[in-house]
């Protein structure tokens, strides 16, 4: 393998060959992986078809458990997409140079998980064929309509955010000799490159555009997750009707999102042999960011629980009791321990095998945060508003299969997309790392400088 | 133009389609079949609607005539039902509302006297049978609750028909709406089934069609917001204060079905209410004298359903 420590030319060659390897030769595990994940997605589609024909009762709903798994999925999958957007945007805005090998993976993950998350809006409604009415008859005082436009705007921004840095890369692939610039792909890259020549004027314009969208996507993502929380907090139900829900959801989204970026980056790094460019150091730094967010989320959870418990009003207290000592207690404490405290400990405690511990922490955080979303949705959706009888959500195979299929759709989407777009931002890497220290050491110095002087 | 007038005129109302329900069209056809000339001298017209003259014969008489000459078989069971109700409703003061001028609209209200309710559940049964609901769809649900001293009591809960309805506010497509008579209805041909209204309702008064609706016998009417039978899978349904009954001066099914006379239907404009055992009251006096309260007053929803508490009940006033 080429070593990036040689001449600038050799480094550029190494970057290009690593970036296009998934396009040219994705490896012998590629098709088995795509088929396996595709089968899971197809199973989920079949389960959805069954649900459409039979009605939503097959997914375990009832009048006293009117929201459940799909609503948790919607929040969780859109939530994780924030991680990709944020990692890339924050690192761009703060001009952290070690970001270069991560941005493409992060931005693609953001787009794919957002598409998967938004599709739960279709799965969750009783009449999916009428969703167009939100545009045609939209009632602007409805949080669902706010959700729709917030997610739509964010989706457009995510596409632009992925596409802009891709322009220069497409131009490189367009002119690169070899199989990447033949047939369909040649047309695709020519289209995507938009006549990019790499002139100073073009480069200046592109950089200011990327800078602008990187700044814009931060408030956009905050608005999406705030508005998602409003669908809950605008009601009068105990446990949902809470003023901290906006920031609570935002921090939860970033926490789970950074965790997903870690998982995806670690997996792709291994699968496509990107170890030369993405070092354990990168993942450890992302792990530290994740721990900061985990502490933030723990604080919000504590704050919410204490407020609900202390005033002792019947409805608030019943929700808190259900979570801390009632039927949902095992899941709640599982979330607190395995979803927050263990991940923090895995990353924060120094020692050997830091990389493995960060990845394990990230997996726990992603799963734990999904569980937490379920624990936000279910107690308040099933708590009695008249009388004392709780409703109950019946877990059936349908939402489980659909949720697993949606989970499989994220790696599937990434595997397919990286057959067409380079997995590393070639142009950006060449510019940020080309004439400097070896890539393997750059991140550490840069990152420490960045961490020492945030902002 | 108000909804009721719009309906009476057969002009587009809350949707871009004629709101004259097919069952009303049947009645009109029936009137025509009985050669009642709508343009005959004496045919009066309704305020704000002069394109459809009103026949000079009351609907009740038309229907009784129809029944007498055996047209019932053609019109179907609903007409039969009208005839029965028309007779049953004869002694009730509310029944005469059908003759009232169509000027200012009704402001429908309900009073539930908890002192009389013995929890028999016949109100729920009547509601479900006549709206063709599944057993779990209790648009009017009778809760068995415990008061502060440990005694149980029963509390029927219809839709509160809030004047400030949280469910209407959160509906993304305007499928939930409020008529100017103060009744919250659902257009099940528009509802996307997101259940945001179920989250917003503080009274658990909304019911989803999680599965195929209850089979419905042949009805002379297509489903409409005012008579949503059969229910539509994947949409929300709720108590509609039986607007399809009250418009014609008939009692809602639950009021009619309550053998204790615990449920009164009334009009805040006319200031009168009546129950199913033939009693009528002056509404304002009745509410005041009995210290009537509204459920969860503190939420600011301004329900149109009033409760008269018995002893030791906490309804949140």
Which domains, and CATH codes, for chain A? 7-451 (1.20.1630.10)
The pLDDT of residue B72 is 37
Chain B residues with CB inside 8 Å of A63's CB?
A: 136-137, 198, 204, 206-208, 210
Residue with the larger pLDDT of the pair A184 and B97: A184
The Cα B53–Cα B46 span in angstroms is 7
Does the reported pTM lie above 0.90? no
Check whether B4 has a pLDDT greater than 80: no
The pLDDT of residue B199 is 96
Residues of chain A falling short of pLDDT 50: 1-4, 435-442, 447, 450-455
The pLDDT of residue A177 is 62
Check whether B63 has a pLDDT greater than 50: no
Half-sphere exposure of B109 (CA within 13 A, CB side): 26
| Mutation site for A-interface testing, chosen from B192, B200, B235 by largest number of A Cβ within 10 Å | B192
**Residue partners of A94: CB distance under 8 A and separation at least 6:** A450, A454, A455
A232:B200 CB<8 A: no
Distance, in angstroms, between B161 CA and closest chain A CA?
Answer: 16
A324 CB within 8 Å of a chain B CB: no
**Of all helices (H) and strands (E), which one includes residue A3?**
none
DSSP-assigned beta bridge partners for residue B272? B267, B282
One DSSP character per residue, B22-76 reads: HHHHHHHHHHHHTT--TTSTT---BTTB-SSPPPSS-HHHHHHHHHHTTTHHHH-
**Residue partners of B128: CB distance under 8 A and separation at least 6:** B134, B135, B137, B138, B139
The Cα B208–Cα B194 span in angstroms is 10
- Would you say B133 and B232 are in contact if contact means Cβ atoms under 8 Å apart? no
Say yes or no: ipTM exceeds 0.90: no
Distance, in angstroms, between B226 CA and closest chain A CA?
Answer: 21
Contact residues, A window 67-106, toward B, CB-based 8 Å cutoff: 67
**Tokens of residue B98, six digits:** 């059908």
The Cα B220–Cα B215 span in angstroms is 15
| Mutation site for A-interface testing, chosen from B156, B173, B207 by largest number of A Cβ within 10 Å | B173
The CA–CA distances, whole Å, from A131 to A122, A128, A141, B166 equal 8, 6, 17, 21
Distance, in angstroms, between A241 CA and closest chain B CA?
Answer: 10
Nearest to A385 among B137, B204, B207 (CB): B204
- Would you say A193 and A170 are in contact if contact means Cβ atoms under 8 Å apart? yes
**Residue partners of A308: CB distance under 8 A and separation at least 6:** A238, A239, A316, A317, A319, A320
B190 CB within 8 Å of a chain A CB: yes
Q: Is the peptide bond before B5 cis (omega within 30 degrees of 0)?
A: no
The Cα A424–Cα A12 span in angstroms is 12
The pLDDT of residue B316 is 52
Check whether B33 has a pLDDT greater than 60: no
The pLDDT of residue A25 is 77
Mean pLDDT across B287-312: 91
Residues in chain B, overall count: 317
Check whether B24 has a pLDDT greater than 90: no
B253 CB within 8 Å of a chain A CB: no
- Would you say B114 and B262 are in contact if contact means Cβ atoms under 8 Å apart? yes
**Tokens of residue B277, six digits:** 């055992």
The Cα B1–Cα B187 span in angstroms is 19
Nearest to A133 among B192, B199, B234 (CB): B192
Percentage of chain B surpassing pLDDT 90? 56
The pLDDT of residue B35 is 39
The Cα A79–Cα A82 span in angstroms is 6
The total of other beta-carbon atoms located within 10 Å of residue B116's CB is 17
| Mutation site for A-interface testing, chosen from B16, B194, B314, B316 by largest number of A Cβ within 10 Å | B194
Nearest to B207 among A63, A143, A144 (CB): A63
**Tokens of residue B140, six digits:** 């009017």
| Nearest in space to B173 (alpha carbons), one of B149, B153, B193, B159 | B193
Chain B residues with CB inside 8 Å of A240's CB?
A: 199
| Mutation site for A-interface testing, chosen from B177, B205, B210 by largest number of A Cβ within 10 Å | B210
Question: What residue in A sits closest to B175 (Cα-Cα)?
Answer: A137
B198:A143 CB<8 A: no
Distance, in angstroms, between A63 CA and closest chain B CA?
Answer: 6
Mean pLDDT across B154-183: 95
Question: What residue in A sits closest to B300 (Cα-Cα)?
Answer: A236
* A358-367, B97-106, B165-174: range with lowest mean pLDDT: B97-106
B196:A142 CB<8 A: yes
Contact residues, A window 128-157, toward B, CB-based 8 Å cutoff: 128, 130-131, 133-134, 136-139, 141-145, 148
Q: Using DSSP, state whether A266 is helix, strand or coil.
A: helix
B96 CB within 8 Å of a chain A CB: no
Distance, in angstroms, between A128 CA and closest chain B CA?
Answer: 7
A240 CB within 8 Å of a chain B CB: yes
Chain A residues with CB inside 8 Å of B198's CB?
A: 63, 66
The Cα B72–Cα B25 span in angstroms is 15
| Mutation site for B-interface testing, chosen from A51, A52, A66, A146 by largest number of B Cβ within 10 Å | A66
Check whether B309 has a pLDDT greater than 70: yes
- Would you say B270 and B250 are in contact if contact means Cβ atoms under 8 Å apart? no
- Would you say B92 and B60 are in contact if contact means Cβ atoms under 8 Å apart? no
Taking only the tens place, the pLDDT of each residue in B186-221 is 999 999 999 999 999 999 999 999 999 988 888 888
Check whether B40 has a pLDDT greater than 80: no
The Cα A145–Cα A168 span in angstroms is 37
Nearest to A139 among B174, B206, B207 (CB): B174
B199:A231 CB<8 A: yes
């Amino acid at each position: 393998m080429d070593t990036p420590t040689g001449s600038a030319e050799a480094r550029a060659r190494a970057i290009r060959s690593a970036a296009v390897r998934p396009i040219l030769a994705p490896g012998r595990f590629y098709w088995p992986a795509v088929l396996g994940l595709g089968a899971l997605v197809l199973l989920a589609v079949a389960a959805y078809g069954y649900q459409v024909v039979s009605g939503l009762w097959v997914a375990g709903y009832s009048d006293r458990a009117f929201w459940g798994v799909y609503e948790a999925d919607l929040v969780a999958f859109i939530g994780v997409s924030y991680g990709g957007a944020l990692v890339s945007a924050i690192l761009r805005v703060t001009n952290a140079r070690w970001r270069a090998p991560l941005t493409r993976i992060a931005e693609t993950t953001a787009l794919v998980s957002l598409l998967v998350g938004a599709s739960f809006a279709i799965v969750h409604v009783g009449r999916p064929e009428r969703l167009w009415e939100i545009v045609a008859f939209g009632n602007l005082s409805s949080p669902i309509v706010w959700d729709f436009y917030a997610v739509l705007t964010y989706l457009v921004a995510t596409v632009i955010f992925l596409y802009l840095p891709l322009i220069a890369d497409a131009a490189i692939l367009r002119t690169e000799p070899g199989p990447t610039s033949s047939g369909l792909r040649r047309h695709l890259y020519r289209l995507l490159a938009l006549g990019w020549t790499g002139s100073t004027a073009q480069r200046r314009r592109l950089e200011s555009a990327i800078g602008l969208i990187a700044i814009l996507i931060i408030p956009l993502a905050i608005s999406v997750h705030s508005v998602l929380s409003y669908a809950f907090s605008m009601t009068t139900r105990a446990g949902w009707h809470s003023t901290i829900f906006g920031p609570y959801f935002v921090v939860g989204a970033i926490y789970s999102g950074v965790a997903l970026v870690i998982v995806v980056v670690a997996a792709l790094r291994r699968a496509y042999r990107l170890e030369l460019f993405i070092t354990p150091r990168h993942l450890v730094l992302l792990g530290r960011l994740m721990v900061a967010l985990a502490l933030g989320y723990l604080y919000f959870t504590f704050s919410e629980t204490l407020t609900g418990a202390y005033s002792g009003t019947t409805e608030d207290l019943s929700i808190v009791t259900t979570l801390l000592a009632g039927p949902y207690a095992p899941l709640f404490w599982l979330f607190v321990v395995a979803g927050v405290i263990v991940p923090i400990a895995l990353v924060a405690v120094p020692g050997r095998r830091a990389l493995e511990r960060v990845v394990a922490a990230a997996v726990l955080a992603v799963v734990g945060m999904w569980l937490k979303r379920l624990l936000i949705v279910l107690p308040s959706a099933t708590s009695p508003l008249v009388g004392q009888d709780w409703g109950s959500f019946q877990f059936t195979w349908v939402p489980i299969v659909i949720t697993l299929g949606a989970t499989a759709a994220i790696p599937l989407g990434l595997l397919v997309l990286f057959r067409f777009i380079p997995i590393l931002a070639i142009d950006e890497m060449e510019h940020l790392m080309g004439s400097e220290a070896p890539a393997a050491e750059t991140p550490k110095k840069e990152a420490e400088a960045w961490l020492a002087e945030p902002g | 133009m108000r909804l009721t007038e719009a309906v009476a005129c057969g002009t587009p109302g809350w949707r871009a389609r004629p709101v004259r329900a097919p069952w009303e069209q049947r009645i009109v056809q029936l009137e025509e079949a009985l050669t009642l000339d709508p343009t005959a001298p004496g045919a009066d017209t309704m305020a704000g609607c002069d394109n459809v003259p009103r026949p000079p014969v009351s609907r009740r008489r038309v229907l009784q005539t129809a029944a007498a000459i055996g047209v019932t078989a053609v019109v179907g069971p609903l007409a039969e039902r009208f005839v029965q109700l028309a007779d049953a409703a004869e002694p009730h003061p509310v029944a005469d509302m059908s003759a009232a001028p169509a000027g200012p609209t009704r402001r429908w209200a309900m009073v539930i006297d908890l002192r009389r309710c013995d929890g028999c559940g016949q109100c729920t049964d009547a509601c479900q049978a006549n709206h063709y609901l599944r057993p779990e769809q209790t648009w009017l649900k009778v809760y068995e609750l415990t008061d502060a001293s440990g005694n149980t009591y029963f509390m029927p809960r219809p839709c509160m028909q809030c004047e400030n309805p949280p469910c209407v506010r959160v509906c993304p497509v305007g499928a939930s709406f409020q008529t100017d008579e103060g009744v919250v209805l659902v257009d099940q041909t528009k509802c996307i089934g997101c259940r945001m209204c179920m989250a917003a309702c503080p009274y658990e008064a909304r019911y989803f069609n999680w599965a195929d609706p209850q089979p419905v016998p042949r009805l002379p009417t297509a489903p409409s917001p005012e008579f949503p039978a059969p229910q539509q899978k994947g949409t929300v349904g709720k108590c509609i204060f039986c607007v399809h009954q009250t418009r014609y001066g008939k009692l809602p099914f639950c009021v009619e079905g309550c053998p204790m006379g615990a449920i009164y239907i009334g009009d805040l404009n006319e200031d009168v209410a009546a129950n199913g055992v033939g009693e009528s009251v002056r509404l304002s006096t009745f509410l005041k004298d009995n210290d009537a309260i509204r459920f969860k007053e503190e939420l600011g929803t301004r329900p149109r359903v009033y409760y008269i508490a018995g002893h030791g009940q906490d309804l949140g006033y």
